[in-house]
C-alpha cells in the first residue's frame, strides 16, 4: 500500500519537475464503515466541516504539498474515479498519466518512472 512517506519522497524528489496536490476525498476506511484497527478514528463525513477536520489530520503529517478537500457531492472523486485513492499526472491541464485505482491498482514506482522521463 502507498504510504504517506513514499508520497513525500516523490514530492521531494520531483518538486522541480512537477507541482503536487492532494485532493482529500471521502474517507475510505471510516471508523463507522470498513475500518482497519490501525486507522485514525474518523467517521464517514456527514458535512464539509467534518471532511475539513479529517483533512487537517493529513495536513499535520506535512505531505509537502497543498491539500484541498473534495466537495460533499464528491465531484473530484467521481470525475477522476479516485475512490479510495488514485495517482494522476497532469500537464497543461491534460491528464498524461492515470494510475490504477488503489490500493492494489497503482504503483508508486510507475509514477516515479513516469516523472523521471519528464526530467
pTM (2 decimals)? 0.79
Cβ proximity of 107 and 10 under 8 Å:
no
Peptide bond into 103 cis (omega under 30): yes
Distances (CA, A) of 98 to 22, 31, 69, 70, 80: 15, 29, 20, 19, 9
68: left (phi over 0), alpha (psi -120 to 50) or beta: beta
H helices present in 15-107, as ranges: 48-60, 75-80
* Tens-digit pLDDT profile for residues 54-101: 899 889 999 999 999 999 999 998 988 877 678 888 888 889 999 888
Long-range contacts of 93-98 (CB under 8 A, 24+ apart): none
CATH number of 4-118: 3.40.30.10
* Tens-digit pLDDT profile for residues 12-53: 999 988 889 999 887 765 555 554 555 666 768 789 999 899
Amino acid at each position: 500500500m502507498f504510504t504517506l512517506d513514499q508520497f513525500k519522497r516523490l514530492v521531494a524528489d520531483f518538486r522541480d519537475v512537477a507541482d503536487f496536490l492532494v485532493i482529500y476525498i471521502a474517507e475510505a476506511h471510516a471508523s463507522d464503515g470498513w475500518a482497519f484497527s490501525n486507522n485514525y478514528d474518523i467517521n464517514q463525513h456527514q458535512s464539509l466541516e467534518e471532511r475539513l477536520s479529517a483533512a487537517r489530520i493529513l495536513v499535520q503529517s506535512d505531505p509537502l504539498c497543498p491539500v484541498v478537500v473534495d466537495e460533499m457531492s464528491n465531484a473530484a472523486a467521481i470525475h477522476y474515479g479516485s475512490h479510495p485513492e488514485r495517482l494522476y499526472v497532469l500537464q497543461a491541464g491534460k491528464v498524461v498519466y492515470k494510475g490504477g485505482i488503489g490500493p492494489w491498482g497503482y504503483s508508486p514506482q510507475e509514477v516515479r518512472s513516469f516523472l523521471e522521463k519528464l526530467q
